[in-house]
Amino acid sequence: MLAIGGNSLIRSKDKSSFADQLATTADTCRYIADIVEAGHEVVVTHGNGPQVGFILIRSHLARNRLPEIPLDACNAQTQAEIGYMIQQSLDNEFKRRGIKKPVVTVVTQVVVDAADPAFQHPSKPVGPFYTKGEAAKLQKELGWVLREDAGRGFRRLVPSPQPMEVVEKPEVECLLRSGAVVIACGGGGIPVVRQNGTLAGVAAVIDKDLASSLLAGEIGAERLVISTAVPQVYLNYGQANQQALGAVQMEEMRKHIVARQFPSGSMGPKIEAALDFLRRGGREVVITDPDHLSDALAGKAGTHVTN
């Protein structure tokens, strides 16, 4: 299981057009092809935060002509869009290398609990900034929760519940058995709740790495690889006494969590996902950046967390 972050799709604010994203995705897919060429079976998951933000901004600008786009629909759209970019780029790379392997995107729903406490405490900011007047109107008309964000305006907050079940897990397994590289759980998956035997989308954001951990555990993956912006996990990150972590056991990582080494807005969710995967029976979690993926899988780079 390979979870790629937002930096694998958008490298800078001035390089965010579709063409720019496609070019960046092609670069990332060369690293993925290296892994496949080495003989690994791969499921790819990805972030979608910036892309969902783009849709919400477009929706806001067109609000006087068209209805606002629901957040679950934004996730579905970006799963398909980013899946298309990865599918095409990876397939092209495979053809250049003579690798005969299909690449398939599964638009994935992930079940959350309607009683999850996160629904009572929305905390994940999404979309554009609004004026105070716009925020009051949206709160009244759509029932959104909006809070002022560091003097830059008001921003919508949505819940971030825990993922419980990947609805399309059987389809992912079937595609893997057929020999395909599968792209799934984009952006953490579309959050849905069960209601009297049916599914319904909800306005929420599931952490991408936690959803990746869940899917990896459900399909019996041995290894979860989390690709991020740094080559390794660090203690005292950005300080003079910064220390890179190589091979780490679960218990040691838990102590670092207690010591608040990993901020919730950056490395924290990745470490939480790593420990969750190991608790589900996974063998190893590797955390590194795209440039070091192959070396990390060979044990020569990255942070390796084991049980």
Cα–Cα dist 24/21, whole Å = 5
- Side-by-side strand order, sheet with 2-4: 103-105, 181-183, 43-46, 2-4, 223-227, 284-288, 303-306, 247-249
Q: Which of 47, 127, 169, 270 is catalytic?
A: 270
Both tokens assigned to 288: 């590194």
Asked about 137 being catalytic, the answer comes back as no
Residue 92 is among the residues annotated as catalytic for this protein: no
Q: Which amino acid is at 284?
A: E
8-state DSSP, 136: H
Q: Which pair of structure tokens corresponds to residue 64? A: 């006087």
Cα 224 to Cα 6, 12, 55, 303, distances in angstroms: 17, 26, 30, 12
- The single residue of 7, 201, 268, 307 carrying the catalytic annotation is 7
Which helix (H) or strand (E) covers residue 223, if one does?
strand 223-227
Residue 255 annotated to the active site: no
Task: Out of 53, 92, 124, 307, pick the active-site residue.
Answer: 124
Alpha-carbon distance of 244 to 237, in angstroms, equals 9
Residues whose CB is less than 8 angstroms from the CB of residue 209 and which lie 6 or more positions away in sequence, other chains included = 3, 226, 269, 270, 272, 273
Phi and psi at residue 35, to the nearest 5°: -65, -45
Q: Is 6 known to be catalytic?
A: yes
- C-beta separation of 78 from 216 below 8 A: no
CB contact at 8 A, 160 and 123: yes
Residue 139's H or E segment, with its range, is helix 132-142
CB 297 within 8 A of CB 35: yes
Please name the residue that has the structure tokens 């990390």: 296
Six token digits for residue 26: 């092609």
Active-site annotation holder among 5, 208, 217, 282: 208
Catalytic residues: 6-7, 124, 208, 270
